[in-house]
Amino acid sequence: MASKPLLHVQGAGIQFGGLKAVSGINIEIHQGELIGLIGPNGAGKTTTFNLLTGVYVPTEGDIWFDGKRLNGLLPYQITRGGISRTFQNIRLFNELSVLDNVKVAYHSLAKHSILSSILRLPSYFKGEEEMEEKAIQFLKIFKLDHLRDEVAKNLPYGQQRRLEIARALAAGPKLLLLDEPAAGMNPQETAELMDLIAFIRKEFNLTILLIEHDMKLVMGICERIYVLDHGQLIADGEPDFIQNHPKVIEAYLGEEVESANA
Ligand SMILES: Nc1ncnc2c1ncn2[C@@H]1O[C@H](COP(=O)(O)OP(=O)(O)OP(=O)(O)O)[C@@H](O)[C@H]1O
């Protein structure tokens, strides 16, 4: 591909004490791609997301996004710069309503000034109204608008996962990172989620990187897949290539043997 990658990870990694959780990884993702990140338990997938979102600062290598070096930027700066994420263990504002959970994402990006919100000037209310309208649009896409006043913690698991994606999307990212979006979903919910991911990608001109253990989902929607094992990338390529890659098969067989012995 000739254009510059939107995300370029160059030899990045992080060490915790003596443990190299992720080491020397290279990733290139171009605008509009839908890419998978897979690997056995403990391979370093979530740590990679934490490096991309400023939760951890790399102890080696560089991370470039949209022409900017991310090393050392704080999570909120990275979100404003265009990367949003969801979490493996859903992180919602449990006591807030479904609608407010999405509106929270807007507040950090809101156009009205702090002064106008303190003084409750007309521009503040206009900003609030616009925010609410936009938030409801997102809830409609995720088929959650009828639940807008429900407290987030009362939603069933699958709907909580969808709400978390809606919130991430409301921040207006260029790159969306999804950490096991189908975890805990039944096959029907997973199939619907696959359609939804394909839809939002097109609708919002998104680039998506997703971690997922559900191989049907990964192989079904990702154009390319990166495979991590013990903190290192062992393969990357199209789904067919990855499925038949000896190192990938070995890594996953190793995981089966480990869990059988546990
Ligand atoms: N803050 C930390 N301090 C020490 N070790 C850590 C820290 N964060 C992650 N690790 C270690 O880094 C390794 C990779 O963990 P990570 O959670 O990234 O794996 P994963 O591929 O996402 O696994 P899973 O599929 O089980 O979620 C593990 O050995 C983990 O214990």
What does the alpha-carbon distance between residue 224 and residue 37 come to, in Å, rounded to a whole number?
Answer: 9
Asked if the structure places residue 239 within a domain, the reply is: no
pLDDT for residue 105:
81
State mean pLDDT over 62-84: 95
Asked if the structure places residue 22 within a domain, the reply is: no
* Summary mean pLDDT of the chain: 89
Number of domains observed in the structure of the chain: 1
Using the mean position of ligand 1's atoms as its centre, give its distance from the Cα of residue 42 in Å.
5
Strand order in 83-85's β-sheet?
A: 83-85, 175-179, 207-211, 34-38, 224-229, 232-237
Examine the pLDDT at 6 and tell me if it is beyond 70.
yes
Question: In b/e form, how buried is each residue of 204-214, taking b as 16+ CB within 10 angstroms?
Answer: eebbbbbbbeb
Asked if the structure places residue 39 within a domain, the reply is: no
Q: Express each pLDDT in 136-167 by its tens digit.
A: 999 999 999 999 999 999 999 889 999 999 99
Note the ipTM here.
Answer: 0.95
Neighbours of 203 (CB within 10 A): 10
Indicate which residue's Cα is closest to atom 11 of ligand 1.
21
Asked if the structure places residue 100 within a domain, the reply is: yes
Asked if the structure places residue 8 within a domain, the reply is: no
Q: Express each pLDDT in 217-257 by its tens digit.
A: 899 999 999 999 999 999 999 999 999 999 999 998 766 65
Using the mean position of ligand 1's atoms as its centre, give its distance from the Cα of residue 16 in Å.
10
Asked if the structure places residue 106 within a domain, the reply is: yes
Asked if the structure places residue 144 within a domain, the reply is: yes
The pTM (predicted TM-score) of the whole model is 0.89
Q: What tokens were used for 187?
A: 């096959």
> The domain containing residue 114 runs over which residues?
92-156
Closest by CA to 25, choosing from 8, 15, 37, 10, is: 10
